[in-house]
Structure 1
Amino acid sequence: MADPLEQTILDLLDQRAPGATICPSDAARAAAPDDWRPLMQPVRDAAARLATAGLVEVTQGGAVVDVATARGPVRIRRPE
């Protein structure tokens, strides 16, 4: 996988129990612990690419959503 943020998302999910979710900020913090806030949109973009590839689902309130149009907090998980 070429994109380091995509890999970070997948690595974090692999470290969690099946069905567990991560927040995009978890991936941003893992990638840049001291300056993670600028990575929030790039992480959401990476999650969108992974979702398009079928590798993750992005949820809001437990329902799968399109991260490109979702407003507010989202979670990322492996597909059920």
Structure 2
Amino acid sequence: MTPSDDRIADEITAQVIDRGAGKTICPSEVARALGADWRALMPQVRRVAGDLAKEGRIAVTQKGETVDAETARGPIRLGLAQETD
């Protein structure tokens, strides 16, 4: 059974909070936590991560630079959004 977008968002949020400020997770960690067929979940995880980033809830990076989770090619990382003063 495919997890809902809300379930994926909850898992992403929980993992980046657990990892802490200045640290990141791989989207595959989220997919692996949600199902045995984790590779099939990757596009959905990236899409939900992109939605969360657009809402300012997380940061999506590649080689330390902010990227779009859905259009970035290659590995991306998910982390807590940077607070701005």
TM-score (normalizing by structure 2)? 0.86
What is the DSSP-based 3-state SS (H/G/I as helix, E as strand, rest coil) of the residue aligned with 2:41? helix
Q: Secondary structure at the match of 2:57?
A: coil
Question: Identity, % of aligned pairs?
Answer: 45
CA distance in 2, matches of 1:61, 1:35: 27
Structure 2: stretches of 5+ with no match in the other structure: none
C-alpha displacement at 1:66, in angstroms? 1.1
Residue 67 (structure 1) shift: 1.3
- Structure 1 residues without counterparts, runs of 5 or longer: none
Q: Find the partner of 1:21 among 21, 24, 33.
A: 24
CA distance in 1, matches of 2:17, 2:51: 18
SS of the residue aligned with 2:78?
strand
Question: Which one has the largest radius of gyration?
Answer: 2
Q: Give the number of aligned pairs.
A: 78
- CA RMSD, aligned part only? 1.1
Report the Cα offset of residue 23 of structure 1. 0.4
Return structure 1 stretches of 4+ with deviation > 2 angstroms: none
**TM (normalized to structure 1)?**
0.91
One of 8, 11, 34 as aligned partner of 1:8: 11
What is the aligned counterpart of 2:53 among 51, 67, 72?
Answer: 51
